[in-house]
Amino acid sequence: MALDLAFVRSQFPALADGFAYMDNAGGSVVLRNVAERVGDYLLTTSVQTGASYAHSQRATARLAEARARIALMLNAGRPEEIVLGPSTTVLCQNLARAMLSRLKPGDEIIVTDFDHESNIGPWRWLERFGIVIREWKIGRDDVEIDLAALDALLGERTRLVAVTHASNILGTINPVAEIARRVHAVGAEIIVDAVAYAPHRVVDVTGWDVDYYVFSFYKTYGPHFAVMYGKYDKLVELDTLYHYFYERDKVPAKLEPGNTNYELAWGSAGIVDYLDALGGRTGDRAAIVRAFDDIAAQEVALADRLLGFLGSRNDIRIVGRPDAGIDRRVPTVSFKVEGANSADLVHKVDREQIGIRHGDFHSRRLVEALGLADEGGVMRASLVHYNTLEEVDRLIAALERALAGR
């Protein structure tokens, strides 16, 4: 079943203005039904949960339904494994705080130099408590991860490995199931940042056997809100971040201090309704899988068109894999033009009603390690399934004009 692009674009009101949105890794546009659900909750159900009166019971049921729908999207085992919060950064910081009493000086945490800082900084913060941070580095020449290098870092003192599922610079999809297997073999846990993966491919936390998995909904067609999956038994062992009377098994509430944002939770569940519509409206996990099959096929076509142009020029370096393989990369495409300032070129593209971006995108350690931080950093066009081949052609034409005018 091919993606119904007319239906897709009709679900995103922002797309009607003719602007080509290609900064989606920074934040996608929002689904109509997500916004409608947020508004409906605020106008009809904005009361505290947990009371006995009818309106509170409705609010409680809506929050439970939203959590269950999000659990279905992630293929979590139970709704209680869904922890909600304001952003991926905050959820990673909260997880680091909640792990603190389980860690002791000399314990080791492995971070990478190819992640977004959200999944690096919170773990490096633990160094002040005597935790040893070890760094898994990416290959400088081929810009690929080396699992053997990870194996060399793993050991009996390893407690956690923090890694990204897809780089927001490289677009590379990392083999998280295999990484999780190696991490678990030494008795450690894994936390996966999926911000750059979740908008593009189906999520299967159970199938991959990850311990924690986190991403933001505002990059997945929803509001400024985020989710962290955690295996139930792992969440139970974490410290409470809420009031002292929130017992260890009161999950996920003990990890959502001040309560979660009810209206954004209800709104975010609308993403799942949209995926169900794309996948045949069957209301089950199979519909979500079918939806992402079609999403992935559309995105491969988009990335192939853009990568083909970039690869045809000898003055452009593609930062990452040059191919658009469905299991190898997402359509987040970064590149550097030889002898040009990335900011200057992006500003020229801005004038043509096309939104791309330049910089390090909070993956500063990676951009610096690759020697690409100068002259405005890298340029990035981050596509999603609602983009069209015509829009990619517009971008290519705009880039050609910008390059010709240097």
- Span 256-299, pLDDT tens digits: 999 999 999 999 999 999 999 999 999 999 999 999 999 999 99
Dihedral (C-alpha) 41, 43, 48, 54: value to the nearest 10 degrees? -90
CATH number for the region 5-30+286-404 comes to: 3.90.1150.10
- Topology (CATH) of 34-275: Aspartate Aminotransferase; domain 2 (3.40.640)
Q: Give the DSSP H/E element, type plus range, for residue 382.
A: strand 378-382
For residue 252, whether the previous peptide bond is cis, meaning omega lies within 30 degrees of 0, is yes
Residues 306, 312, 315, 316: is their CA dihedral positive or negative? positive
pLDDT band (50, 70, 90) for residue 406: low
pLDDT band (50, 70, 90) for residue 201: very high
User: Can you give the pLDDT at residue 140?
Assistant: 87
Q: Is the pLDDT of residue 161 over 90?
A: yes
Residues 40, 57: Cα–Cα separation, whole Å: 16
Residues in the chain: 406
pLDDT in tens, 285-294: 999 999 999 9
- Identify which of 11, 52, 95, 96 has the alpha carbon closest to the alpha carbon of residue 277: 11
pLDDT band (50, 70, 90) for residue 1: low
pLDDT in tens, 318-341: 999 999 999 999 999 999 999 999
What percent of the chain clears pLDDT 70, i.e. is strictly above it?
Answer: 100
Q: What are phi and psi of 74, to 5 degrees?
A: -90, -10
* Residue 211 tokens, joined: 């311990």
Tell me how crowded residue 176 is: count the other CB atoms within 10 A of its CB.
23
Strands 226-230 and 189-193: unpaired
Tell me how crowded residue 105 is: count the other CB atoms within 10 A of its CB.
8
User: Average of pLDDT values for 93-108?
Assistant: 97
Task: Quote the DSSP letter at residue 387.
Answer: -
Q: Where are the domains of the chain?
A: 5-30+286-404, 34-275
* First CA to last CA distance, the chain: 44
Sheet strand arrangement including 212-216: 82-85, 226-230, 212-216, 189-193, 158-164, 108-112, 132-136
SS3 271: helix
Nearest-10 crossing angle of helices 54-74, 285-311: 50
Q: What are phi and psi of 199, to 5 degrees?
A: -70, -10
